[in-house]
Amino acid sequence: MNSYEWRFVGGHLALDLANTVAWRLDPARTVDRLGSADLLADWFRAATGLTADADAGVLRRVRALRTAATRLVDAHLDGAADRGSARAVFDAWRAALDRAVPGDRLPLAETASGAIEDHLALAVAELLRRPDPAALRRCDGDGCGWLFLDTTRNHSRRWCDSADCGNRARVRAYTSRRRERA
Ligand SMILES: [Zn+2]
């Protein structure tokens, strides 16, 4: 059904959701990989192993959640606040909790209703309430904007993928060094 090969570099479902927009910091190249409800259902299955229905309404709400979560992480990384996005995430989280089923063993967690939007809202809330937001990173690649959790010991990860954005940056540095020498 879908020929696009999904990539999961975020290290967390909420960040992989944000990363379904490629090249988001370069408007000329920006691509929304969740272009249809079918693509959303396909991505969700690839990301979680769960099968759930998606329609135009689910897609619209997931996109709104994705925008709010991305803006909140960006604001955090830029040392800012974003009350509107925080409210949107909170509202989606509360709606998902209303429909959730409580788990019965530790670690005590709520189980999403089965709806894609609820599953993702709980994931976004889980990420944004974790005690270590210092691990949140944005790829240094030009225009990339992909987000990830840096789990390296010395917090040194700069790229969404060292074979992708990291490699492009190395090639660019090499080319400019050669130009300087010429
Ligand atoms: Zn990147």
pLDDT digits (tens, 9 = 90+) for 81-120: 999 999 999 999 999 999 999 888 888 888 888 899 999 9
For residue 147, report the distance from its CA to the centre of ligand 1, in Å. Answer: 8
Residues 161-182, mean pLDDT to the nearest whole number: 82
Identify whether 6 is part of a domain.
no
Domain that holds residue 74: 13-181
CATH number reported for the structural domain that contains residue 83 in this entry: 1.10.3300.10
Residue with tokens 């020498």, as numbered in its chain: 181
Give residue 109's pLDDT.
Answer: 82
What integer pLDDT is reported at residue 10 of this predicted model? 96
| Average pLDDT score, the chain | 92
Spacing, Cα 164 to ligand 1 middle (Å) = 7
Q: Please tell me the distance between residue 113's alpha carbon and the centre of ligand 1 in angstroms.
A: 33
Residue 106 maps to a domain: yes
Rounded mean pLDDT, 132-161? 92
- Give the orientation angle of helix 56-77 with respect to helix 37-48, to 10 degrees: 60
Question: Pick from 47, 25, 26: which is nearest to 34 by CA?
Answer: 47
Report CA 179 to chain centroid distance, whole Å: 37
Asked whether residue 1 is assigned to any structural domain, the reply reads no
Based on the structure, what is the number of domains in the chain? 1
At a CB cut-off of 8 Å and minimum separation 6, what does 20 contact? 32, 33, 34, 43, 66
Instruction: Please provide the distance, in angstroms rounded to a whole number, between the alpha carbons at the two ends of the chain.
Output: 50
Confidence (pLDDT) at 2: 52
Please state at what angle helix 116-128 crosses helix 83-99, rounded to 10 degrees: 130
Residue 93 inside a domain? The answer is yes
Classify each residue of 47-81 as buried b or exposed e, where b means 16 or more C-beta atoms within 10 Å of its C-beta. bbeeebebeeebbebbbebbebbbbbbbebeeeee
Is 38 inside any structural domain? yes
What was the pLDDT predicted at 3? 56
In a domain, 116, yes or no: yes
17 by Cβ neighbours in 10 Å (0-12 / 13-18 / 19+) ranks as buried
**Cα atoms found within 13 Å of the Cα of residue 37, Cβ hemisphere only:** 13
Q: Is residue 7 part of a domain?
A: no
* Domain annotation covers residue 40: yes
Nearby residues for ligand 1 (ion, Cβ within 5 Å): 139, 141, 144, 146, 160, 165
How many angstroms separate the CA atoms of 176 and 10, rounded?
Answer: 30
Distance 106 CA to ligand 1 centre (A): 36
